[in-house]
Amino acid sequence: MDFYENWVELDLNPIISFSTFGKILYTNSEAQYVLNRVNAKVLFELAVNNASTTYGTKTTYVNLPLKNYLFYALTVSYDNDEKIHLKLYKSTSTKKEASIKQQNANITNIFTLLDLCISTQKIKSKTKFIKNYDPSIPEFRLVASDLIKLLSLVYSQFNKTKEVTSLVKLKIGEYLRVEGKKYSLVSIQISSSQEVCLDEIKEDNYSSFILSKEENKIFIDLPLILE
């Protein structure tokens, strides 16, 4: 790897090259983390929609939130019809995972915490709770008080729905970085087929995991720290 290639590889902003049909041809290290959370098709369409009308390079300033990222600009470059290149510029407040802290974390059974919060909510609600847990996930280090607080709030927002599904799984090939180390990713997804107002749940209020929202869904991503 020459100096230029190494420079691109280590850039803290994600850089991705696509074929004409949206196939990923190259990603630098940072882009691989972004692709763990953002669908490649979304990024390809972003590149195509913001490309210049003729061969060349175009930079556009945006306010672009994608999952737990926030980008303030993007550059699209192409000099033929075979490849298109995208660079995204992260805002200084962009990546929650960079600030994940594990103070007061202890080895805990995540399913026990979920069951506790669900049992508490059942007393107050007629909602049917469906649980889909991956039993292969071991006990791991997390800040139980933070997670219980969030889960209690989340389930309270779903208390008027007929049915709520709680899914816990290990995301294969996806990682979080904590204090420079890379850890596998455990994801909690809480969702309903009915409309739910999630305005009270703020994505930036927690420091021991990553919280993101979609329509009628909550995602909580935690690093699988076993030591």
Most confidently predicted of 10-24, 62-76, 177-191 = 10-24
Which percentage of the chain shows pLDDT scores above 70? 92
Q: What is the pLDDT of residues 17-31, one digit of tens each?
A: 999 999 999 999 888
Any idea what DSSP says for residue 82?
A: S
pLDDT at 173 over 80: no
Confidence of residue 144 (pLDDT cuts 50, 70, 90): very high
pLDDT of residue 142 exceeding 80: yes
pTM above 0.75, yes or no: no
Residue-wise pLDDT tens digits, 103-132: 778 999 999 999 999 999 998 888 999 999
Contact 67, 90 (CB under 8 A): no
pLDDT in tens, 205-221: 567 888 888 788 888 98
Question: In order of start, what are the domains of the chain with their CATH numbers?
Answer: 3-94 (3.30.450.20), 106-223 (3.30.565.10)
3-state helix, strand, coil in the chain (%, to 5): 25, 40, 35
Beta strand ranges found along the chain (DSSP E): 15-19, 24-27, 56-66, 69-78, 83-90, 106-108, 128-133, 140-142, 163-178, 181-191, 210-214, 217-223
Residue 92's pLDDT is 54
pLDDT above 90 (res 91): no
